[in-house]
């Protein structure tokens, strides 16, 4: 039995659909369970094999002013879930982020690289990892997540490109897009392999789609495929701009490509290229 915490979020809904399609027994909860209060977790009395935490505070800019709530959800919450899992004999898998790194690298970040977050969101996600690790949990760090459910860069770009003659997108931040459907499948593979007795140690793993690109590159491909698949109904000029031209309250990492060689080696994975996964998603969006 799986427990998906945060099952109404982008990844949580993908996992719910995947488990449902595979006939996997699970329950899903969202705001009805307050992860910042341990007493609400212990009310779930079913015997769980896995607790998967997809919940958290993800409003990166708002976090700069909302530090207390961000810390409760991203630090206290995972710690409480990890304690519950350990006490109840379940295994835990927690989702983290590329924002635990500052972006000062010029080569992909490995799991063992020192964390040095530059904003409140990244700091709380880094601190939240510690409670999971000390209780032998599994962590998957990911980046630039998009999918069918909720707000994300791809859906925002599609909307803007259908509304405007031009869109400006930053060209000096580099990372790796991740299709939530692909990440859900990898979570399933990891948990299934562990349950089958695979030699997979708890700890941190990086997963994104293959490729390190800029937000501008991402937007340009969204437009190209959107027109090809008729998701976009009009032309739109995609203009590159500097981060300095698009100020935000929270500073974003300039480089946050994650090295995925550990999870590929551990699970014998072939990870799809970001363009392939983007086309798959937009094909679903187009109904083709």
pLDDT in tens, 120-174: 999 999 999 999 999 999 999 999 999 999 899 999 999 999 999 999 999 999 9
Return the structure tokens found at 51: 């607790």
- Which pLDDT score, from 0 to 100, does residue 288 have? 64
Predicted pLDDT at 286? 87
Return the CATH number of 2-151+177-210+257-272, one of 3.40.50.300, 1.10.340.30, 1.10.520.10, 3.40.50.720: 3.40.50.720
The answer to whether the CB of 223 falls within 8 A of the CB of 161 is: yes
**pTM (2 decimals)?**
0.97
Residues 246-262: b if buried by 16+ CB within 10 A, e if exposed? eeeebebbbbbbbbbeb
DSSP string across 154-186 = HHHHHHHHHH-SEEEEESS-EE--EEHHHHHHH
How does pLDDT run across 74-130, given as a tens digit for each residue? 999 999 999 999 999 999 999 999 999 999 999 999 999 999 999 999 999 999 999
Active site residues: 121
| Domain spans, the chain | 2-151+177-210+257-272
Q: What are 184's two structure tokens? A: 């859900």
Stretch 40-47: mean pLDDT: 88
| Short-list 192, 22, 199, CA closest to 93 | 192
pLDDT score for 69: 98
Percent of the chain with pLDDT over 70: 100
C-alpha 68/C-alpha 6 separation (Å) is 20
Phi, psi of 13 (to 5 degrees): -70, -40
Per-residue pLDDT of 190-249, as tens digits, reads 999 999 998 899 999 999 999 999 999 999 999 999 999 999 999 999 999 999 998 899
What is the average pLDDT score of the chain?
96
């Amino acid at each position: 039995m799986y427990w998906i915490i945060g099952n109404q979020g982008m990844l949580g809904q993908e996992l719910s659909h995947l488990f449902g399609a595979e006939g996997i027994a699970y329950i899903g909860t969202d705001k009805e369970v307050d992860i910042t209060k341990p007493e609400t977790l212990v009310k779930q009395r079913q015997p769980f094999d896995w607790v998967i935490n997809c919940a958290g505070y993800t409003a990166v800019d708002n976090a700069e002013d909302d530090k207390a709530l961000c810390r409760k959800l991203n630090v206290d919450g995972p710690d409480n879930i990890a304690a519950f899992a350990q006490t109840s004999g379940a295994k835990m898998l927690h989702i983290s982020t590329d924002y635990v790194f500052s972006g000062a690298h010029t080569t992909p970040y490995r799991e063992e690289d020192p964390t040095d977050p530059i904003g409140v969101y990244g700091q709380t996600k880094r601190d939240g990892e510690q409670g999971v690790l000390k209780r032998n949990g599994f962590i998957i760090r990911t980046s630039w997540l998009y999918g069918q459910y909720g707000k994300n860069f791809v859906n925002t770009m599609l909307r803007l490109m259908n509304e405007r003659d031009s869109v400006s997108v930053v060209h000096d931040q580099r990372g790796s897009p991740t299709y939530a459907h692909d990440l859900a499948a990898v979570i399933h593979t990891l948990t299934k392999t562990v349950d089958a007795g695979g030699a997979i140690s708890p700890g941190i793993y990086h997963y994104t789609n293959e490729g390190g690109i800029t937000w501008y590159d991402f937007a340009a491909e969204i437009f190209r495929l959107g027109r090809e698949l008729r998701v976009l109904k009009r032309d739109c000029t995609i203009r590159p701009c500097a981060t300095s031209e698009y100020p935000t309250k929270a500073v974003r990492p300039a480089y946050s490509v994650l090295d995925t060689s550990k999870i590929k080696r551990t699970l014998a994975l072939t990870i799809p290229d970001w363009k392939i996964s983007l086309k798959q998603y937009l094909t679903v969006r187009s109904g083709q």
